Amino acid sequence: MPVFVPASRLPSKPRRCSVSSLLALALGLSVALPLSVPGAAQAEGVTLKVFGGSSLDVLAPREKPEVQTKIREQIVSGFLKAHPDVSAVEWDAQGPQSGSLQRMMTAKLSGQEMDLVACSAFWVNGAYVRRGLLRPITEEVKPFAANVDPASFGAFTINGKIYGVPISSLSTSTLFYNVELFKKLGIPTPPSYDDLKAALPKLKEAGVIPLLHQGANAVMWPMWYFETVSQSSGDPVGLTQKQLDGKEPFDDAASVEAFRLIKQWVDDGILSKDSLSVDMEGMRAAFASGKSAMYYGGTWEVPSLKENVKDFTWGVFPFPKMPGTPGAPKHGGGADNGMCLSANIPEEKVKPALDFIAYLTKPEIAKIYLDADKPIATSIKGVDGVDEPYAKDLRANTFPDTVKFLDWIWPSEVTTAVASGIAGVVGGTTTPEEAAKSVQAAFKTLVDDGNWPPKD
């Protein structure tokens, strides 16, 4: 899979990097960044220090290092001119993404000065807030919150408190389908679950697998659970937080039902059981060759679809509501990156730091660092995504119902247990009840061993 891989999930979205940058990331080396962009007068004013746990915690992270530098210098220079109380902005982002937490903790223990923290939503949810590395800014963001898509704040909100401002493209999860095949067989779009079930005889007659998943890639199974527990519980993030706080078990009724709903896709014949032996490339190849009618994944699939699907038009539709479920469909995703305040920022730097974040949310400024990404959607109002049919569909029908990936919140042991449970349910070797109990057992072991809640 491509260079940038969210720690929560493999594979993920590609990031375009130079050969030297790729080599540096692969070897775990730092990618050098200019430390500061000085203003015309540096004698007076504070210096803001931006810290990134990895070399991807920069503006326009998919761009080549030289392009990143140019964009950063342009933006910081403009900020310094508008804010004479700030003399310089130093940006220190180094190393591989997998080492982000270690680098952050090392910096904290050594007393390294950090005012702002540039980071991914995964690390904010999974470790930084729990370890007390970030300062909540719920009230402080209100003066410029109107610049940001409201739903995007969800990726940086924990227990009702906002810890970061999203300044990136957005991802979501969706079903990709063969447009011509659906038209030929008379399958409505977007289809309901019952529509898909009713279309099975036609798909079978056409010799086409209805839906294939990259089931051999275990870390992709939890995405199905994100969808089904949303519908079985009505509040997947709230339920997950209660479970992590020990107020609800991971084998409660809604969680068992989430596994059962995944099983229903298999029992009804929509999701092929052959998915268990199919990897990412096999799933993509089957769809591109017309052997499967659909597959489920994230918006990071778009580059591959554009490159490999040549013989038909592909489209998107949201994961449908399952019959009889109490909750509305919600799809995993969110803002990829944001800007936060360090928990140790000196009080005299809080206002200048917030001014810098506010500056980054201005549409005319955000356009500079977001346009290079050619995003489907962005966290900043007024910075539109690409003007293509699939992107318009996603912005209209899927992004509004997108909530944060649950494995941004889960400990890795829970993620592994959920993935294993789903594989067992799909393969028919595990019941939904047994799958949920295995997740609860994994979490209980984590607690009993003193590894949860996490310690500094």
Identify the burial level of 247 via C-beta atoms within 10 angstroms of its C-beta, where 0-12 means exposed, 13-18 middle and 19 or more buried: exposed
Say which residue the tokens 């527990």 belong to.
Answer: 229
Least Cα distance to 330 among 438, 183, 221, 226 occurs for 226
Q: Which residues pair with 334 in a beta bridge?
A: 171
Domain presence at residue 6: no
Q: What is the pTM of this model?
A: 0.85
Domain presence at residue 160: yes
Check pLDDT > 70 for residue 120: yes
Domain presence at residue 373: yes
Torsion of CA 90, 33, 10, 223, to 10 degrees: 30
Give the Å distances, CA to CA, from 97 to 25, 320, 383.
8, 34, 27
Helix (H) / strand (E) element for 184: namely: helix 179-185
> For 83-110, how does the pLDDT look when each residue is reduced to its tens digit (9 = 90+)?
999 999 999 999 998 899 999 999 999 9
Verify that 219 and 280 share a domain, yes or no: yes
Q: State which residues form the domain around 299.
A: 173-333+405-448
Residue range 71-78: mean pLDDT, rounded: 97
Verify that 204 and 249 share a domain, yes or no: yes
Check pLDDT > 50 for residue 18: no
Torsion of CA 307, 313, 318, 321, to 10 degrees: -140
Verify that 223 and 342 share a domain, yes or no: no
Check pLDDT > 80 for residue 385: yes
Instruction: Say how far apart CA 100 and CA 303 lie, in whole Å.
Output: 26
Verify that 340 and 326 share a domain, yes or no: no
Residue range 38-62: mean pLDDT, rounded: 81
DSSP E strand stretches across 94-182: 116-120, 134-135, 157-158, 161-162, 165-166, 170-171, 173-178
Please count the other Cβ atoms lying within 10 Å of the Cβ belonging to residue 280: 18
Instruction: Say how far apart CA 217 and CA 331 lie, in whole Å.
Output: 20
Verify that 181 and 147 share a domain, yes or no: no
Instruction: Say how far apart CA 269 and CA 211 lie, in whole Å.
Output: 9
Verify that 147 and 256 share a domain, yes or no: no
What integer pLDDT is reported at residue 126 of this predicted model?
85
Residue 456: pLDDT band with limits 50, 70, 90: low
Helix (H) / strand (E) element for 126: namely: none
**Number of domains comprising the chain:** 2
Verify that 127 and 160 share a domain, yes or no: yes
Residue 37: pLDDT band with limits 50, 70, 90: very low
Verify that 67 and 200 share a domain, yes or no: no
Name the residue type at position 68: Q
Domain presence at residue 4: no
Residue range 343-352: mean pLDDT, rounded: 97
Residue 50's CATH number? 3.40.190.10
Check pLDDT > 80 for residue 44: no
Verify that 322 and 229 share a domain, yes or no: yes
Give the pairing type, strands 173-178 and 165-166.
unpaired
Domain presence at residue 289: yes
CB 322 within 8 A of CB 228: yes
- In the chain, the percentage of residues whose pLDDT exceeds 70 is 90
**Number of residues written out for the chain:** 456
| Two tokens, residue 245 | 């706080």
> For 315-324, how does the pLDDT look when each residue is reduced to its tens digit (9 = 90+)?
999 999 999 9
Domain presence at residue 388: no
Domain presence at residue 394: no
The angle, 0 to 180 degrees and rounded to 10, between the axes of the packed helices 363-370 and 347-360 is 70
Check pLDDT > 70 for residue 253: yes
Verify that 114 and 245 share a domain, yes or no: no
Verify that 239 and 198 share a domain, yes or no: yes
Verify that 311 and 284 share a domain, yes or no: yes
Domain presence at residue 46: yes
Name the residue type at position 295: Y
Instruction: Say how far apart CA 101 and CA 57 lie, in whole Å.
Output: 13
